[in-house]
Amino acid sequence: MNQTAIIILAAGESSRMEQPKQLLPFKNGTLLGHVADEAQKSGMPVVIVLGAREEIVKQQLLDVSAEITYNEKWKDGISTSIKSGLQKAIENNSDIESCILCVCDQPYISTVLFQQLMEKKAASGKNIIACSYTGTIGTPVLFDKKYFDALMNLQGSEGAKKLLQTYREDVALVSFEKGEIDIDTKMDYKELLKAI
Protein backbone atom coordinates (compact mmCIF):
# COMPACT_ATOMS: atom_id res chain seq x y z
CA MET A 1 0.00 0.00 0.00
CA ASN A 2 1.22 3.49 -0.82
CA GLN A 3 2.50 5.17 2.32
CA THR A 4 1.42 8.69 1.37
CA ALA A 5 -2.21 9.78 1.70
CA ILE A 6 -3.78 12.71 -0.14
CA ILE A 7 -6.16 14.72 2.05
CA ILE A 8 -8.59 17.00 0.20
CA LEU A 9 -9.94 19.80 2.38
CA ALA A 10 -13.48 20.57 1.20
CA ALA A 11 -15.40 21.48 4.35
CA GLY A 12 -15.81 25.25 3.95
CA GLU A 13 -19.12 26.95 3.26
CA SER A 14 -17.94 29.14 0.34
CA SER A 15 -19.45 32.26 1.90
CA ARG A 16 -18.01 34.61 -0.76
CA MET A 17 -19.33 32.38 -3.55
CA GLU A 18 -22.85 32.17 -2.04
CA GLN A 19 -23.09 28.54 -3.26
CA PRO A 20 -21.00 25.43 -2.59
CA LYS A 21 -17.89 25.93 -4.72
CA GLN A 22 -17.15 22.22 -4.30
CA LEU A 23 -20.04 21.60 -6.74
CA LEU A 24 -19.29 24.26 -9.36
CA PRO A 25 -19.36 22.61 -12.80
CA PHE A 26 -15.83 22.09 -14.13
CA LYS A 27 -14.64 19.98 -17.07
CA ASN A 28 -16.82 16.84 -17.01
CA GLY A 29 -17.83 17.12 -13.37
CA THR A 30 -17.31 19.53 -10.47
CA LEU A 31 -14.35 21.38 -8.97
CA LEU A 32 -14.14 18.90 -6.10
CA GLY A 33 -14.69 15.95 -8.44
CA HIS A 34 -11.78 17.12 -10.60
CA VAL A 35 -9.33 17.30 -7.67
CA ALA A 36 -10.60 13.94 -6.37
CA ASP A 37 -10.08 12.34 -9.80
CA GLU A 38 -6.54 13.66 -10.09
CA ALA A 39 -5.78 12.42 -6.57
CA GLN A 40 -7.22 8.97 -7.33
CA LYS A 41 -5.16 8.65 -10.51
CA SER A 42 -2.01 9.04 -8.39
CA GLY A 43 -2.65 5.62 -6.88
CA MET A 44 -2.38 7.03 -3.35
CA PRO A 45 -5.14 6.59 -0.77
CA VAL A 46 -7.43 9.63 -0.76
CA VAL A 47 -9.41 11.18 2.12
CA ILE A 48 -11.98 13.91 1.39
CA VAL A 49 -12.98 16.08 4.35
CA LEU A 50 -16.51 17.50 4.13
CA GLY A 51 -18.31 19.92 6.44
CA ALA A 52 -20.78 22.57 5.24
CA ARG A 53 -23.65 21.15 3.17
CA GLU A 54 -22.15 17.70 3.64
CA GLU A 55 -25.17 15.73 2.40
CA ILE A 56 -25.46 17.65 -0.89
CA VAL A 57 -21.74 17.49 -1.60
CA LYS A 58 -21.54 13.81 -0.68
CA GLN A 59 -24.24 13.00 -3.25
CA GLN A 60 -21.90 14.23 -5.97
CA LEU A 61 -19.12 11.91 -4.85
CA LEU A 62 -20.89 8.59 -5.26
CA ASP A 63 -18.56 7.54 -8.09
CA VAL A 64 -15.41 8.55 -6.23
CA SER A 65 -13.52 5.74 -4.54
CA ALA A 66 -12.09 7.82 -1.71
CA GLU A 67 -12.62 7.78 2.03
CA ILE A 68 -15.10 10.54 2.85
CA THR A 69 -15.07 11.89 6.37
CA TYR A 70 -17.26 14.53 8.00
CA ASN A 71 -15.67 17.26 10.10
CA GLU A 72 -18.37 18.30 12.54
CA LYS A 73 -16.17 21.16 13.80
CA TRP A 74 -15.68 22.72 10.35
CA LYS A 75 -16.99 26.10 11.57
CA ASP A 76 -14.00 26.31 13.95
CA GLY A 77 -11.50 26.78 11.12
CA ILE A 78 -9.34 24.89 8.65
CA SER A 79 -7.18 23.32 11.37
CA THR A 80 -10.13 21.11 12.33
CA SER A 81 -10.37 19.77 8.77
CA ILE A 82 -6.63 19.07 8.62
CA LYS A 83 -6.89 17.12 11.90
CA SER A 84 -10.04 15.29 10.81
CA GLY A 85 -8.46 14.22 7.49
CA LEU A 86 -5.13 13.21 8.99
CA GLN A 87 -6.82 11.21 11.74
CA LYS A 88 -8.87 9.30 9.15
CA ALA A 89 -5.80 8.67 6.97
CA ILE A 90 -3.88 7.25 9.96
CA GLU A 91 -6.88 5.13 11.02
CA ASN A 92 -6.95 3.62 7.53
CA ASN A 93 -3.20 2.99 7.41
CA SER A 94 -1.15 3.12 10.59
CA ASP A 95 2.08 2.82 8.54
CA ILE A 96 1.47 6.09 6.71
CA GLU A 97 4.76 7.93 6.12
CA SER A 98 3.51 11.28 4.81
CA CYS A 99 0.43 13.17 3.69
CA ILE A 100 -0.35 15.69 0.98
CA LEU A 101 -2.82 18.43 1.94
CA CYS A 102 -4.73 20.05 -0.88
CA VAL A 103 -7.84 22.15 -1.33
CA CYS A 104 -10.75 21.65 -3.70
CA ASP A 105 -10.71 25.09 -5.32
CA GLN A 106 -7.36 25.03 -7.16
CA PRO A 107 -8.56 23.87 -10.59
CA TYR A 108 -5.10 23.23 -12.01
CA ILE A 109 -4.13 20.57 -9.47
CA SER A 110 -2.98 17.43 -11.31
CA THR A 111 -1.67 13.92 -10.76
CA VAL A 112 1.65 15.12 -12.19
CA LEU A 113 1.88 17.73 -9.43
CA PHE A 114 1.32 15.11 -6.72
CA GLN A 115 4.09 13.04 -8.32
CA GLN A 116 6.43 16.04 -8.38
CA LEU A 117 5.90 16.57 -4.64
CA MET A 118 6.87 12.93 -3.99
CA GLU A 119 9.90 13.13 -6.26
CA LYS A 120 11.10 16.37 -4.67
CA LYS A 121 10.85 14.80 -1.21
CA ALA A 122 12.99 11.86 -2.33
CA ALA A 123 15.55 14.10 -4.07
CA SER A 124 15.81 16.88 -1.49
CA GLY A 125 15.74 14.95 1.77
CA LYS A 126 13.45 17.67 3.15
CA ASN A 127 10.36 16.76 5.17
CA ILE A 128 7.97 19.45 3.91
CA ILE A 129 7.44 19.99 0.18
CA ALA A 130 5.28 22.98 -0.73
CA CYS A 131 4.15 24.49 -4.01
CA SER A 132 5.46 27.90 -5.04
CA TYR A 133 3.52 30.39 -7.12
CA THR A 134 3.59 34.17 -7.65
CA GLY A 135 5.85 35.02 -4.74
CA THR A 136 4.20 32.78 -2.17
CA ILE A 137 4.19 29.15 -1.10
CA GLY A 138 1.22 26.97 -0.25
CA THR A 139 -0.93 24.01 -1.18
CA PRO A 140 -0.74 21.31 -2.25
CA VAL A 141 1.87 20.60 0.40
CA LEU A 142 3.45 17.32 1.51
CA PHE A 143 4.31 16.70 5.16
CA ASP A 144 6.46 13.85 6.42
CA LYS A 145 5.05 12.05 9.47
CA LYS A 146 7.68 13.92 11.51
CA TYR A 147 5.18 16.83 11.37
CA PHE A 148 1.96 14.94 12.06
CA ASP A 149 1.94 16.04 15.71
CA ALA A 150 2.46 19.67 14.66
CA LEU A 151 -0.47 19.36 12.22
CA MET A 152 -2.65 17.84 14.95
CA ASN A 153 -1.76 20.77 17.24
CA LEU A 154 -2.93 23.50 14.85
CA GLN A 155 -5.77 25.60 16.26
CA GLY A 156 -8.73 27.51 14.76
CA SER A 157 -8.01 29.14 11.43
CA GLU A 158 -4.32 28.14 11.49
CA GLY A 159 -3.48 26.23 8.35
CA ALA A 160 -0.45 24.47 6.92
CA LYS A 161 1.16 27.84 6.14
CA LYS A 162 1.99 28.29 9.81
CA LEU A 163 4.22 25.21 9.68
CA LEU A 164 5.82 26.33 6.41
CA GLN A 165 6.95 29.49 8.20
CA THR A 166 7.94 27.79 11.47
CA TYR A 167 10.03 25.04 9.86
CA ARG A 168 11.32 27.00 6.87
CA GLU A 169 14.73 25.25 6.91
CA ASP A 170 13.01 21.88 6.28
CA VAL A 171 10.94 23.07 3.28
CA ALA A 172 11.68 22.34 -0.39
CA LEU A 173 9.60 23.79 -3.22
CA VAL A 174 7.92 22.60 -6.39
CA SER A 175 6.84 25.18 -8.96
CA PHE A 176 3.05 25.19 -9.54
CA GLU A 177 2.64 27.88 -12.17
CA LYS A 178 -1.15 28.21 -11.97
CA GLY A 179 -1.36 27.58 -8.25
CA GLU A 180 -2.40 31.16 -7.52
CA ILE A 181 -5.67 30.51 -9.35
CA ASP A 182 -8.22 29.49 -6.76
CA ILE A 183 -11.95 29.96 -6.91
CA ASP A 184 -13.25 32.13 -4.07
CA THR A 185 -15.72 34.42 -5.82
CA LYS A 186 -18.14 34.36 -8.73
CA MET A 187 -15.70 36.57 -10.65
CA ASP A 188 -12.90 34.01 -10.10
CA TYR A 189 -15.16 31.33 -11.51
CA LYS A 190 -16.13 33.43 -14.54
CA GLU A 191 -12.44 34.05 -15.26
CA LEU A 192 -11.72 30.32 -15.01
CA LEU A 193 -14.47 29.43 -17.47
CA LYS A 194 -13.16 32.05 -19.87
CA ALA A 195 -9.63 30.66 -19.58
CA ILE A 196 -10.64 27.09 -20.38
pLDDT in tens, 99-113: 999 999 999 999 999
User: Which pLDDT band, with edges at 50, 70 and 90, does 8 fall under?
Assistant: very high
User: Which pLDDT band, with edges at 50, 70 and 90, does 67 fall under?
Assistant: very high
* pLDDT of amino acid 2: 60
Q: What percent of the chain has pLDDT over 90?
A: 77
- Domain carrying residue 171: 4-195
Both ends of the chain: CA-CA distance in Å?
36
User: Which pLDDT band, with edges at 50, 70 and 90, does 125 fall under?
Assistant: very high
- Do 14 and 104 contact (CB within 8 A), yes or no? no
Maximum distance among all alpha carbons in the chain? 44
Domains in the chain, number: 1
Helices 31-41 and 111-124, axial angle in degrees (round to 10): 50
* pLDDT of amino acid 146: 97
Section 92-101 average pLDDT = 94
The CATH number of residue 93's host domain is 3.90.550.10
* pLDDT of amino acid 78: 95
* pLDDT of amino acid 17: 73
pLDDT over 60 (residue 92): yes
* pLDDT of amino acid 60: 83
| Summary mean pLDDT of the chain | 93
Section 174-191 average pLDDT = 92
Cis peptide before 45, with omega less than 30 degrees from 0? Answer: no
